[in-house]
Amino acid sequence: MSLSPTDPLPPPYDTALLVLAIIAVVVQACNCIYTCWRLCCQITVFTLGLAIEQVLILMFTIMNICRAFRLSDIRYQQILNIITDGFFLVGILIHVLLLLFRFRLVNQGWYSNFWDMLMIGLTLVVFTGTFATVVTCEIYQRTLPIDSADPYPLSSAISIANAVFALYVLLADTILSSLTYIRLRKLKSGTRSEHFDDNNRLHIRTISAMVGLVLMSWTAMIVYIFNTASGVAETPLSRVLIQASYTTISFHMTFACVFLISIKRLLKGYGISVSRSANDPYNTTSVVPEQPEDLEEQVAP
């Protein structure tokens, strides 16, 4: 059974979608509360970025409930789509930048400022292209006469743009996490600490969170691909599957939260931190014994 873009979901699909949406909101609200609590305890650029990311994704999950159940006025629905996509794209942008920031802490020897700037620049280019495409298509749709048979004629272009950005995030998560795993294994095997048991538990938690966030990324992408491959016409099941992929994003953010916070503590447990090496002719970021002053841990007045 196909649905028009303005049709509500029939039972039991409406119940399934509502349950998935509530799960996403509850999980994301917990993420948001935790990161905001950390921000109150310690105000840094990292904790601020992490809190903003979680708040934006929380707003996305809340707004997405309204979008999923369809507003009766198509014009208001189009405005809601713009706002919802904006929350999602900006939140995911901050998420990728935070991953790059943390990856710098456990960098490989080749990861110089050039690669750092290249990755950040590529992320910003992909985000800008996606955001501009989505917003332009959404705004242009509002200028067109409403066709009851197809009120969203540019929905395919918007879906493709979002899919490209999601694919980039998936690849970034997978590649950076794989390199980080290799680096952490080397650090664990090459470091002897008096707090071995504590470090071992923290190492397992960090790796588990990293695996979890990658699995959630792949799950969301597989569900999305399966849904789009099933056909162009929207069905009750396809709408529920879309919500299922959005729900996995909230769990992805939970694992990402644990990973981004644990990785710094793990490095401290190994007795290392990040600093600029004065003997590095390329001024690359290098892992050195931890210094008494850690700029990232300073709390703003």
Q: What is the pLDDT of residues 25-41, one digit of tens each?
A: 999 999 999 999 999 99
The reply to whether 300 falls in a domain is no
Report the chain's mean pLDDT, rounded to a whole number: 79
CATH code: domain of residue 41: 1.20.1070
The reply to whether 189 falls in a domain is yes
Beta bridge partners of 234: 3
CA pair distance 7, 69, nearest whole angstrom: 8
Structure tokens at 141: 């749709």
Q: Among candidates 211, 238, 237, 255, which has minimal Cα distance to 27?
A: 255
The reply to whether 102 falls in a domain is yes
| pTM of the model as a whole | 0.81
Tally of domains within the chain: 1
Q: Among candidates 254, 272, 127, which has minimal Cα distance to 187?
A: 272
The reply to whether 298 falls in a domain is no
Domain that holds residue 18: 13-292
The reply to whether 115 falls in a domain is yes
- Residue 110 — pLDDT band, cuts 50, 70, 90? low
The reply to whether 3 falls in a domain is no
Q: Give a three-class secondary structure readout of 113-145.
A: HHHHHHHHHHHHHHHHHHHHHHHHHHHHHHHCC
Q: What is the pLDDT of residues 29-79, one digit of tens each?
A: 999 999 999 999 988 998 999 999 999 999 999 988 877 766 666 777 778
